[in-house]
């Protein structure tokens, strides 16, 4: 797990809200090239590594997404603070009080700040605790001496500049991992670890596999293109959603039966369950009611594949998230077992 956690720490430290992912793409290209692979980057920003296997007539695709939630400057207020528009699906209260960084397109500089409710001070605003958090009253307090719109714009800040959130990544002595963007950088770290293992140990996969790191999943598109026609199985490695009526926890791998796009392929799901039982990997089956994945995006785009979804159990998804090393290990073990197994039998 040390290697996976190291990759995770490096990944979450790179700002990558959807639409602003070049830096994390560059990181992947560099790391994968150093491993000895020949990654390619598509026009849309997918980073793809193809690992030749014993069977190349029928192939596999496996994905993790490297884009995250974030925001974009919508307006500069008269007092110099910034109004935001959301990137990805989250409620405003989930980022209230979070430190952030404004990435200035005009000059390449960054400015730090904090995302706050306009009526934050309880000494001034009677309704501070009850007022609805919305786009109209959430703002960025910049860490610069600005008191009006002109002074803020003098920094180079303009509508359309991206805003990333502080990940605050912590690994506790008890094995918990707390951070923003565990969705889905845990999965990306797992794929990097396995790719490094296969190259270092000279492992030949039974099936040619395309490892795809997508960069626009949080806005619903995902890895829905550049899928070779030979691909017959498509596995999305993402996150398991936790909450009321959910079986998913922070200590097992979660296998998705159905999400907001509909049921996942039954035979594929059963193969994953069989691998868990055979390898004694702790797992849970679950339904994610308000969810979509790279695999569901590929299906909507018309991919002719069997599709499946699994991932580590993530508490408080799309907020300040948490999982446990046990869940990461179980997820990595299942992905490894799948990639080293034969294709699903008809």
Binding region:
65, 183, 218, 238, 318
User: How many CA atoms lie within 13 Å of 227's alpha carbon, on the beta-carbon side?
Assistant: 28
> How do the residues of the chain divide into helix, strand and coil, expressed in percent and rounded to 5?
25, 30, 40
- Is residue 231 within 8 Å of residue 61, measured between CB atoms? yes
Residues that constitute the known binding site for Zn(2+): 65, 183, 218, 238, 318
Which strands sit side by side in the sheet containing 176-179, from one edge to the other? 170-171, 176-179, 321-324
Contact in structure between 133 and 91 (CB atoms under 8 Å): yes
Cβ pair 193, 21 in contact under 8 A: no
Beta carbons within 8 Å of 46's beta carbon, 6+ residues apart: 212, 213, 214, 215, 223, 225, 226
- Count of CB atoms within 10 A of residue 96's CB? 14
Pairing of strands 40-41, 306-314: unpaired
Q: With beta carbons less than 8 A apart as the criterion, state whether 188 and 21 touch.
A: no
Catalytic residue among 10, 158, 217, 278: 217
- For 256, 267, 318, the CA distances from 284, given in Å and listed in that order, are 9, 17, 21
Nearest residue to 212 (alpha-carbon basis) of 345, 32, 20? 32
Please report, for residues 19, 118, 239, the alpha-carbon distance to residue 66 in angstroms, rounded to integers and kept in the order given.
Answer: 11, 31, 12
Q: Residue 280 burial (CB < 10 Å; 0-12/13-18/19+)?
A: exposed
Contacts of 75 (CB under 8 A, 6+ apart): 82, 83, 159
**Is 233 among the catalytic positions?**
no
Coil/strand/helix, residue 232? strand
Catalytic residue IDs: 217
């Amino acid at each position: 797990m040390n290697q996976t956690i190291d990759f995770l720490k490096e990944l979450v430290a790179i700002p990558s809200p959807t639409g602003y992912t070049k830096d994390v793409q560059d990181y992947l290209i560099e790391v994968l090239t150093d491993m000895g692979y020949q990654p390619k980057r598509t026009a849309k920003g997918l980073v793809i590594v193809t690992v030749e296997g014993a069977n190349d007539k029928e192939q596999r695709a496996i994905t993790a997404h490297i884009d995250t939630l974030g925001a974009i400057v919508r307006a500069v207020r008269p007092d110099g603070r910034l109004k935001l528009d959301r990137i990805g699906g989250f409620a405003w209260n989930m980022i209230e009080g979070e430190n952030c960084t404004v990435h200035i397109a005009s000059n390449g500089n960054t400015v730090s700040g904090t995302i706050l409710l306009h009526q934050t001070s309880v000494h001034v605003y009677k309704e501070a605790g009850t007022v609805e958090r919305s786009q109209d009253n959430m703002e960025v307090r910049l860490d610069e001496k600005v008191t009006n719109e002109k002074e803020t714009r003098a920094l180079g800040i303009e509508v359309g500049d991206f805003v990333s959130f502080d990940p605050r990544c912590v690994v506790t002595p008890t094995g918990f991992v707390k951070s923003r963007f565990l969705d889905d950088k845990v999965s990306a770290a797992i794929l990097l670890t396995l790719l490094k293992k296969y190259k270092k140990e000279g492992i030949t996969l039974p099936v040619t596999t395309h490892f795809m790191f997508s960069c626009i999943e949080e806005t619903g598109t995902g890895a829905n293109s550049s899928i070779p026609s030979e691909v017959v199985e498509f596995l999305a490695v993402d996150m398991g959603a936790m909450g009321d009526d959910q079986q998913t926890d922070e200590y097992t791998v979660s296998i998705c039966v159905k999400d907001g796009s509909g049921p996942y392929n039954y035979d594929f799901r059963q193969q994953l369950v069989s691998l868990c039982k055979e390898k004694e990997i702790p797992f849970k089956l679950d339904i994610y009611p308000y969810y979509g994945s790279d695999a569901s995006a590929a299906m909507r785009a018309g991919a002719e594949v069997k599709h499946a979804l699994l991932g580590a159990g993530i508490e408080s998804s799309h907020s300040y998230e948490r999982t446990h090393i046990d869940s990461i290990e179980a997820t990595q073990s299942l992905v490894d077992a799948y990639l080293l197994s034969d294709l699903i039998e008809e």
